[in-house]
Chain A
Amino acid sequence: MSAPSMYLFVFFGIFSALLLITGIYCMLVSFNLIRIIIGFEILVKAATLLIISAGYACGKSALAQVMVITLIVIEIVVMVVAGGVALWAFRHNDNIDPRELGNLKG
Chain B
Amino acid sequence: MLSLFILAPLFLLFVLNLPLKPVNKACFWLAGVLLSAQILMALGHALCPWSLYPDKLGLFFVFNLVMDNLTLVMLLVIGIVSLVALFVGKSTIILEEQRFNFVSLVLACVIGMNAVVLVRDIFSLYIFIEITSIASFVLIALKKDKLAIEGTFKYLIMSAVATVFMLCAMAFLLLAAGDLSFAAVHSAFYNPANAGLLKCGAGLFLCGLLIKSGVAPFHGWVPDAYSSAPAGVSILLAGITTKVAGVYVLLRLFGSVFILNAQFQNILLFAGAFSIVMAALAALTQDDFKRMLAYSSISQVGYIILALGCGTPLAFAGAIFHFFNHAIFKSLLFVNAASLEKEFGSTNMNTLAGLGNKSPVTGFTSLIGALSTAGIPPFSGFWSKLIIILALFSAGRFVYGGIALLASILTLAYFLAFQRRVFFGKTESTLSSAGTSWALRFWEIALALITAASGAVFVLVHNNWVLPLKAIFW
Binding site for B on A (CB under 8 A): 1, 9, 20, 27, 33, 36, 40, 43-44, 46-48, 50-51, 53-55, 57-60, 63-64, 67, 70-71, 74, 77-78, 81-82, 84-86, 88-89, 92-93, 98, 101-104, 106
Contact = CB atoms under 8 A, between A and B. Distances in A.
9 contacts: A47-B168, A58-B174, A64-B174, A93-B146, A103-B146, A104-B147, A104-B223, A106-B223, A106-B286
Contacts of A93: 146
Interface string B270-308: 000000000000000111100100000000000000000
A82 to B, nearest CB: 6
Interface stretch (B36-44, B148-156, B314-322): B148-156
Contacts of B291: 106
Interface in B123-175: 123, 127, 130, 134, 137-138, 141, 144-147, 149-154, 156-157, 160-161, 163-164, 167-168, 170-172, 174-175
A25 B127 CA distance: 27
A3 to B, nearest CB: 13
Contacts of B147: 103-104
Contacts of A81: 134, 137-138, 156
A43 B137 CA distance: 20
A104 B138 CA distance: 19
Given A54-B171, A63-B174, 11 more contacts: A43-B161, A50-B167, A58-B175, A70-B127, A74-B127, A85-B137, A86-B153, A88-B144, A88-B149, A92-B149, A103-B147
A24 to B, nearest CB: 9
A47 B164 contact: yes
B175 A63 contact: no
A75 to B, nearest CB: 8
B175 A104 contact: no
